[in-house]
Amino acid sequence: MLTQVTTEVATEATTQVTTGATTSHRGRVRWQCRRALLELDLVLERFLERHFDRLDDSQLVVFEELLRSDDYDLWAMVNGSKPCEVERWQGLVGLLREAEAPEAPEPQRQVAPGVQC
């Protein structure tokens, strides 16, 4: 019984440490998204809002690798003026391109003729 309790406590502690490390790692990656190039900074900010929390651990590693690129090279890949030649980056570059476009505002609905809500 004592062995089982000890194992459960150890497992729970490992899970908490791993979760804390993952949260800490995600925080560092978020910080790396802050860029000097305004256009890229805005795209990365929208990417963080729309997609970042859904990245799994392997995608997070690839995203961090992509962020090591020079700002101008990364911006060129995002805006399409330079092809993304690294195959493992292509999916994330696609998401960044998607984030480049601001979200369209919701169309206004009319409740009655001439009345908008």
**From residue 48, how far is each of 34, 37, 55 by CA, in Å?**
11, 16, 10
Q: Does position 19 have pLDDT exceeding 70, yes or no?
A: no
Q: Does position 64 have pLDDT exceeding 70, yes or no?
A: yes
pLDDT band at 106 (very low <50, low <70, confident <90, very high): low
Tell which wins on pLDDT, 16 or 102.
Answer: 102
Tell which wins on pLDDT, 104 or 67.
Answer: 67
Tell which wins on pLDDT, 1 or 93.
Answer: 93
pLDDT per position as a tens digit, 43-61: 999 999 999 999 999 999 9
**From residue 104, how far is each of 7, 24, 100, 107, 108 by CA, in Å?**
52, 33, 12, 9, 12
Element (H, E) at 110: strand 110-112
CATH pick for 35-101 out of 1.10.150, 1.10.3470, 3.40.50, 1.20.1050:
1.10.150
Average pLDDT, the chain: 80
At 111, give phi and psi (nearest 5°).
-80, -45
80 Rama sector, left if φ>0, alpha if ψ -120 to 50, beta otherwise: left
List the chain domain ranges: 35-101
CA distance 65 to 48: 16
Cβ contacts of residue 72 below 8 Å, gap of 6+?
A: 37
CA distance 93 to 76: 10
